[in-house]
Structure 1
Amino acid sequence: MVILFGMPLVQVLLFGFAITNEIRDAKVSVVDPTPDAVTHAIRNKLFASGFFIESEILNSQEEIAENFRKGESKMVIIFENNFSGKMERGEHPTVQLIADASDPNTASMLVNYANGIISEFNREQQATSGIPLIIAEPRMIYNPALKGVYMFVPGIITILLMLVSAMMTSISIAREKELGTMEVLLVSPLRPFNIIAGKVIPYVLLSFINAISILLLSYYVFGVPVKGSVLLLLAESILFIILALSLGIFISTIANNQQTAMMLSMFAMMLPTILLSGFIFPIENMPEVLQWLSLAMPPRWFILIIKSIMLKGSGITYFWKETLILLFMTSVFILASIRKFKIRLA
């Protein structure tokens, strides 16, 4: 009854609030080597629009790569040296818009919004003083060609590993309950940890082979680069696989049969994984309640990690917090599963 009546309501709410292509409060950093009245006016107009919020003031262009790797900003705005001075001399000063195109849709919209605001500023200034036009120069990094596959491959890897791994373990254990073989294990001298480890290890190997296959296809067929450490990427993938498997085991301790386990694995995880992970729809555009809820979604953190390694070439120093979050979630699900087994043994 919960699945029949509760799931449609949850789906409608998620689709209604989470699916939006609007941009709000995107973090933007600024490089303004010689601040003046004109650059301040442009900055005020950009940040008053509601599309952008000021993230950080950078001292030089050398800090831009570090800023993007840390995930501090979605876009960096660079004002030319002596901006107002060039306008007074009749020259055309430039504003460079550098966007993180690892999410090409968001990057395109951010650049278009900024271009529109700068064009409006140009029209206002020309109408009053006839000053020369300000030229906006967009530049995309990490994905200059704005290929959609750069966004979809990390997300698809995450969804497949999450759903397949969790579903395999939850259904296999629920099937043993239905057949009565789980009771044999529960009354045996085996400890709960031994039972869980015996169920997880084979699927870790199978899911790891699956992950390697997906990565090979993405590299050789779709041309998605792996700029960072391959060993680090595989290690993070194993961690996420273990997390997904431990979640599947936890679901199996709740479900009494295969059908319930499949429904929980498919519908309780698939939609939140797609909608609340930031895979397709930016999390910062969602209501605050859904933003807080997304913090409990393991795929959100793994997508950040895999994009950092594959597209940005970042090391563990840039996503150690996300790795610790995945480790914590894995420990919680494993301990909860063991506790459930202990309750059954008691």
Structure 2
Amino acid sequence: MKRFRGFVIKEFYHIFRDKRTLIILFGMPVVQILLFGFAVTNEISNVDIAVLDRSKDSETQKIINTIEASKYFKVTDFIVDEKQIETIFKKGKVKAVLVFENNFSKDIVAKNMANVQIITDATEPNVANSVNTYLTSILQQYQTDLNQRQQIPYQIVPQTRMYYNPELKSVFMFVPGIMTVILMLVSAIMTSISITREKELGTMEILLVSPLKPYQVIVGKVFPYVFLAISNAIIILMLGFFVFKMPIEGSYFLLALETVLFIFSALALGILISTISETQQTAMMASLMGLMLPTILLSGFIFPISSMPLPLQVISNIIPAKWFIILIKGILLKGVGLEVLWKETLVLVAMIVAFIGLSVMKYKTRLE
């Protein structure tokens, strides 16, 4: 019994001595609870919408004011022509456009009915459905308030139109998202254990005395995995195109370029994890738990980032998956080019440079 008790005490010493393990054991449950509590929600809030008001009368202005007063929408743009709708959708920020017909107020009085068109960006079907439902609900509530003193009720008839994904196929959302998650996790896991394996097997000393410079070791660790990750990307895109009829509206060259950039960012992030991890187990757990949850929850893959609390929206900016999902949806579904996606491209490039630079610095520190 004394031996068993001593063995148990020794195990506790091992656990509490490893600070990284303690962070994973006690920190990750807290992070998961916070992420699932704030990020996992089907509600929408602060969604940017635009208005095309052909009537410009008192009734349309009241409706716009009612929409702006809700916590669900922000009217960020007023457009004057239908040709601007696709342009504003391609920028990716506005999720819906509300179109008022000519003579809106006159039609309500003369015909007891007026039409409003709701045009949504359906590259994210769940968000498009929610936006359409919430806007329709606001219009119906306004109609109810308007009819309280009317003997003959007025009707405001919403007409819905979906851009880019009119059938609201959920696969159009899941193929880009799954591709992002797989590339991030596979690339990061493969590279995160690369340097850690060298330390555990005792071959790190060979690298330390070799004539290779730190950046050469880092690049050498990343290079073989690039081809494996590219193969995964090609397989996913082919399955999406041939099996699920996923469109590829944009440039194939730009799609390949952005995919390679994202793969490099994931591989570089994996190398960074491996340089600061002592064991393969720690590196793998950090890759799985530290990357999987943020990639799924905070990238905009399933849940809209605009509906999350401001701190989580800020944190999402440092997640490479967020920027790649914007890029791949823009290329596949909207057919936009680098003139629209240049900012997201530069963000990925900056992340690659930052991750590789930090990896080299950590590697140099271990050499000293």
Same structural fold, with TM-score higher than 0.5 when normalized by the shorter chain? yes
Return 24-33 or 81-90, whichever deviates more. 81-90
Partner of 2:139: 118
What pairs up with 1:263-282 in 2 under 5 angstroms? 263-282=285-304
Give the greater-gyration-radius structure (CA). 2
Report the AA paired with residue 120 of structure 2.
A
Q: Percent identity?
A: 51
Aligned to 1:238: 260
Please say if 1:102 is aligned against 2:109: no
How far apart, in 2, do the equivalents of 1:50 and 1:85 lie?
30
Q: Does 1:135 align with 2:153?
A: no
Q: Could you report, residue by residue, the CA deviation over 1:239-289 in whole angstroms, capped at 9, with x for unpaired residues?
A: 000110011111010111110110000001100111111111111111111
Aligned match for 2:37, one of 1, 6, 16: 16
State how far apart, in whole Å, the 2-side matches of 1:29 and 1:131 are: 28
Task: Report what 1:335 is aligned to.
Answer: 357
- Which whole-Å CA distance do the structure 1 matches of 2:181 and 2:202 have between them? 31
Are 1:186 and 1:344, in contact at CA under 8 Å, matched by a contact in 2? no
Shift of 1:131: 5.2
Q: For each residue in 1:92-123, what CA deviation from the matched residue of structure 2 results, as whole angstroms up to 9, or x when unmatched?
A: 32100001111101110111111111112222
1:171 equivalent among 193, 198, 201: 193
- Are the counterparts in 1 of residues 250 and 331 from structure 2 also a CA contact under 8 Å? yes
Query: Which residue in the other structure is 1:53 paired with?
Result: 74
What residue in structure 1 maps to residue 277 of structure 2?
A: 255
Aligned partner of 2:202 among 171, 176, 180 = 180
Render the CA deviation track for 1:208-238: whole Å, top value 9, x for unaligned.
1110111000111111111111111111000
Q: Report the Cα distance in structure 1 between the residues aligned to 2:308 and 2:93, rounded to whole angstroms.
A: 18
1:173-322 superposed matches below 5 A: 173-322=195-344
**Equivalent residue pairs, number:** 346
Match of 1:326 in 2: 348
Q: Which digits, 9 at most, give the CA deviation of each residue in 1:292-316, with x for residues without a partner?
A: 1111111011100000000111101
Contact 1:247 1:333 in 2 (8 A): yes
Q: 1:235 is matched by which residue type in structure 2?
A: L
Structure 2 distance, partners of 1:177, 1:243, is 23
Residue 34 of structure 1 deviates from its aligned partner by 2.6
2:9 corresponds to which residue?
none
Look up the equivalent residue of 2:124 and give its one-letter code: D
| 1:110-141 Cα distance to aligned partner (Å, 9 max, x none) | 11111111112222222323353121101111
Cα distance in 1 for residues equivalent to 2:163 and 2:321: 24
| Aligned match of 2:65 | 44
Q: Given the two structures, how large is their TM-score scaled by the length of structure 2? A: 0.92
| 8 Å CA contact 2:122, 2:165 repeated in 1 | yes
SS of corresponding position for 1:30: strand
Deviations 1:180-215 (A, max 9, x none): 122211211101111111111111111111101110
1:209 aligned counterpart, secondary structure: helix
Q: Tell me, which stretches of 5 or more residues in structure 1 are unaligned? A: none
Contact residue 194 and residue 271 of structure 2 kept, 8 A: no
**What is the DSSP-based 3-state SS (H/G/I as helix, E as strand, rest coil) of the residue aligned with 1:126?**
helix
Is the contact made by 2:112 and 2:153 (CA closer than 8 Å) also made in structure 1? no
Contact 2:183 2:263 in 1 (8 A): yes
SS in structure 2 at match of 1:29: strand
Preserved CA contact (<8 Å) 1:90 1:131 = no
TM-score normalised according to structure 1 size: 0.97
1:147-162 to 2 correspondences below 5 Å:
147-162=169-184
Find the aligned partners of 1:312 and 1:125 in 2 and give their Cα distance: 39
> Does 2:51 align with 1:26?
no
RMSD: 1.1
Residue of structure 1 equivalent to 2:28 = 7
Helix, strand or coil: the match of 2:336? coil
| 2:50 match: secondary structure | strand
